[in-house]
Chains A and B, each alone.
Chain A
Amino acid sequence: MDPANRLKIVEPERMSILGLMLSSIIRSNLDRETVLKRVARLDGKVGVTAGKMSITMAFDRSSVTLTRGLTSGLRARVNGSLDSLLQVSLGKSLLNVYFSKAVSFSGNPLFLIKILPLIRVPAATEPR
């Protein structure tokens, strides 16, 4: 698939800073072969809420689409402060933030675990 079409943002000019930050991380991850293979197996939507901001990430086995707000048919939801979610993106364990009550989850936890590599900030040394 054309790398430029792997990530779509619906109405990018109206996307919240949460969506823009996540899109930037996802875009850099989509350059990595291992993550691409994982995306090819993902189908469904995840809702992410940080403070008052929400976005939906929709996977269709070939691409990721980010939409402002929460849409219907979510397979999982993540909710927490922006700081907590950034810490997850920087590698903090999901269980850790869950048990410290900094972040809450609902829906299918397995699906969440599958999308995790996509929203983690890649280390400079990670293979592409």
Chain B
Amino acid sequence: MTPNRYERLFGDVVPEQRLVTDEATLSRFSRDTTEAEPGRPDVVLFIENAAEAEAAVRVAAEHRVPLIPRIAGTNLGGLSIPVRGGAILDLTGFNRIIDINEIDMIAVIEPGVTFGQLVAELKRRQLPLTIGIPLSPPHTSIMANCLLDGLGNLSLLYGTMGEWITGLEVLLSTGQTIRTGAWAVSDVPPFARAPLPDLTGLFVSWQGTTGLVTKMAVELKPKLAFRRRLFVLTYNRRTTYDLMRRLARQRMFDDIGGLSWPTGKMMYGIERPLERDPDEPEFFTYIDLSANSEAELSIKLDTMTRIIAEQRSNGAELEDPLDLDTIVKVAPQFEKFAEFPTDLEFLTQHPGGGLSWVGTYGPMSRFDRAADLGIEIMARYRFPPLIVSRPMKGGHFGVLRFIETFSRDDDKEVEAVRRCNAELTTMVLEQGFIPYKTPVRTTAQVIPHLWPGTHQLMRRLKEVLDPYQIMNPGRWGLDTEEEL
């Protein structure tokens, strides 16, 4: 059989078995769980090391072939779906943990390293260290979550995962390799972003449009010996957000997350719960604590109990904290929340398997109003008001997500998700929230809100960093041929 154009171009980049152009694979890589428009790649290259990545970028630059990096493809934003065809670089096998520095608490990893892999490695080496772990399956990539500025279960203390990056090694479409952070000084370990001019931000939240990151240094944090996870059932969202705001500023808790009532029902197999028993709690709020000793843990628990009692004395309706271990004994379904990373199958294993969201970061002072409006919108489109809210960085801001499950095989439902998400995006922007891991459709809604000079500078930076316009094109309105 005659090789096609892409097989000829990339034939020397990877061994034959890792260059794939068959229809079934291309079709599989042309979509994800979301409502995003499918986009067919011309070829999928399974990259396993930096030399192959470099060769792929060189060929792509020479022949102007778009490159789309992909690992698990679970970003919920269609971010690894090609907008203009080209080559998907599947980086799953590019997955060495290059170094774990126990003293400086830094790991250096390749793109394909997963949360499950790093957690297992830390356990194997018996290191009392951990990383912020998102509410996502174990096979998801640490680097992708950091570069897309996602969050993890220590983001209340330490902020978005982009902030955990201490240095990057990046391949530009010009063929140049650069390093950011202290790492830019040769032979210095990647201990921090400071104190050189911080170039790391040129690659965080840019969705792979400025360069291909081949190595990342990321902070690890001490894993304390004494840990508890508790659930507080709160009867309305005002109480939930008051509780979050008050607990967040104590600087005592690892993570606080409010999951709205449909979560519980979905875990019991009710696929689309639209109505709530008016007397049941609106949110399950989990609170993670860790400490160096029983005594320290006890102080934290006492603080939490005191705050809950104060809230109750002010008329708030909420239950006493339930220990997750107790809940799991009665309801084993909740074991999903016992350890992260975790696979919340109830979100994806349903007929049609669709999962989408509008995920935003925004000021906690505005959570109540944004949640009220978001719930109204979701109800209008007949989606359960599935919301996840978590304070971040000591309560300066938080994440507010509106999540839909749907059937990807039902065109009407896909269209309903698109319209619902568009409306949610309009609302959150008006309320001062900013979507993250932004899909193409959502980005188009965000750009008009950007300060004009900001977007102009983004476009100029894109031209400098990716003059051949091959890095994940079609995103952020950055390509020179794109209309503003």
Interface residues of A (CB under 8 A from B): 12-21, 24-25, 51-54, 68-69, 81-83, 86-87, 89-90, 121
Contacts of B333 in A (CB 8 A): 24
The listed residue (A13, A51, A87) touching B233 by CB distance below 8 A is: A51
User: What residues on A are CB-neighbors of B265 within 8 Å?
Assistant: 13, 15, 17, 20
Q: How far is the CA of A20 from the CA of B284 in the complex (A)?
A: 15
Q: How far is the CA of A16 from the CA of B322 in the complex (A)?
A: 17
Cα of A53 to Cα of B321 in the assembled complex, Å: 16
With both beta carbons as reference points, the residue of chain B lying nearest to A11 in the complex is identified as: B275
Across the interface, B273 reaches (CB within 8 A) one of A13, A52, A89, namely: A13
Across-interface contacts of B264 in A (CB, < 8 A) = 17, 20
Q: Is the CB of A121 within 8 A of B329?
A: yes
Tell me the bound Cα distance from A53 to B322 in angstroms: 16
Are A52 and B279 touching (Cβ within 8 A)? yes
Q: Is there contact, CB below 8 Å, between A82 and B233?
A: yes
Pair A17/B279 contact, Cβ less than 8 Å: no
**With the chains together, A54 CA to B278 CA distance in Å?**
11
CB pair B330 A121 closer than 8 Å:
yes
**Which one, A15, A51, A69, A86, contacts B326 given CB within 8 A?**
A86
Chain A contact residues, majority secondary structure: helix
Q: A13-B265, A51-B233 are in contact. Are A68 and B329 (CB under 8 A)?
A: no
B274 in contact (CB, < 8 A): yes
A14 touches B277 (CB 8 A): yes
What are the residues of chain B within 8 A of A53 when measuring CB–CB? 277, 279-281
A50 to chain B, nearest CB (A): 8
Q: Which residues of B contact A21 (CB under 8 A)?
A: 330-331
B280 touches A86 (CB 8 A): no
B10 interface hit (Cβ, 8 Å):
no
- Residue from A25, A52, A54, A89 whose CB has the most chain B CB atoms within 10 Å: A52
Cβ–Cβ contact A83 & B274, under 8 A: no
Residue B319, interface by CB 8 Å: yes
B261 touches A52 (CB 8 A): no
Closest B residue to A81 by CB, please name it.
B320
Closest beta carbon of chain A to B321's beta carbon, Å: 8
- CA of A11 to CA of B233, assembled, Å: 22
Instruction: Verify B280–A24 contact, CB threshold 8 A.
Output: no
Interchain residue pairs with CB less than 8 A apart (8): A13-B270, A14-B276, A18-B280, A51-B319, A53-B279, A53-B281, A82-B322, A86-B327
Q: State A98–B277 Cα separation when bound (angstroms).
A: 27
CA distance A109 to B27 in the complex (A): 64
Quick check: B280 and A17 within 8 Å, CB to CB? yes
Query: Which residue on chain A has the smallest CB distance to residue B271?
Result: A13
Shortest distance from the beta carbon of B315 to any chain A beta carbon, whole Å = 14
List the B side residues contacting A81 at CB < 8 Å: 319-320
A68:B268 contact, CB within 8 angstroms: no
Question: B residues engaging A (CB < 8 A)?
Answer: 233, 235, 261, 264-265, 268, 270, 272-277, 279-281, 284, 317, 319-322, 326-327, 329-331, 333
Query: Which of A13, A51, A86 sits near B330, CB closer than 8 Å?
Result: A86
In whole angstroms, how far apart are the Cα atoms of A12 and B265 in the complex?
A: 9
Q: Chain A residue with minimal CB distance to B284?
A: A17
Cβ B279 vs Cβ A83 within 8 A: no
The reply to whether A83 and B322 contact each other, CB–CB distance below 8 Å, is yes
Q: Are A83 and B331 CB-contacts (below 8 A) given A13-B265, A69-B279?
A: no
What CA separation (Å) do A17 and B321 show in the bound complex?
A: 15
> CA A14 – CA B277 in complex, angstroms?
6
Q: A17-B261, A51-B319 are in contact. Are A25 and B330 (CB under 8 A)?
A: yes
The distance from the CB of A21 to the nearest CB of chain B, in whole angstroms, is 5
Contact residues in B for A24 (Cβ distance below 8 Å): 268, 331, 333
Contacts of A86 in B (CB 8 A): 322, 326-327, 330
Contact A12 B270 (CB under 8 A): yes
Residues of the A chain whose Cβ atoms lie less than 8 Å from the Cβ of B284: 17
Q: Is the CB of B322 within 8 A of A13?
A: no
Least CB distance, A24 to chain B, in whole angstroms: 6
Residues of B within 8 A of A54 (CB): 279
Residues of A within 8 A of B268 (CB): 20, 24
Q: Is the CB of B317 within 8 A of A52?
A: yes
What are the 9 A-B residue pairs with the smallest beta carbon separation, nearest first?
Answer: A16-B280, A16-B277, A17-B264, A20-B268, A52-B279, A14-B275, A51-B319, A13-B273, A21-B331
Q: A13 to chain B: which residues have CB within 8 Å? A: 265, 270, 272-275
User: Least Cβ distance of A124 to chain B in Å?
Assistant: 11
Q: How far is the CA of A93 from the CA of B320 in the complex (A)?
A: 20
The one of B275, B281, B319, B329 that contacts A90, using a Cβ cutoff of 8 Å: B329
Closest residue on chain B to residue A119 by CB atoms: B330
- Given contacts A52-B280, A53-B280, A121-B329, list 5 more A-B pairs with CB under 8 A: A12-B270, A13-B270, A21-B330, A54-B279, A83-B322
Residues of B within 8 A of A87 (CB): 326
Q: Which residues of A are found within 8 Å of B331, using beta-carbon distances?
A: 21, 24
Chain A contacts for B326, CB-based, 8 A: 83, 86-87, 90
The residues of A that contact B276 with a CB separation of less than 8 Å are 14
Could you say which of A68, A82, A89 contacts B277, with CB atoms under 8 Å apart?
A68
CA distance A68 to B279 in the complex (A): 10
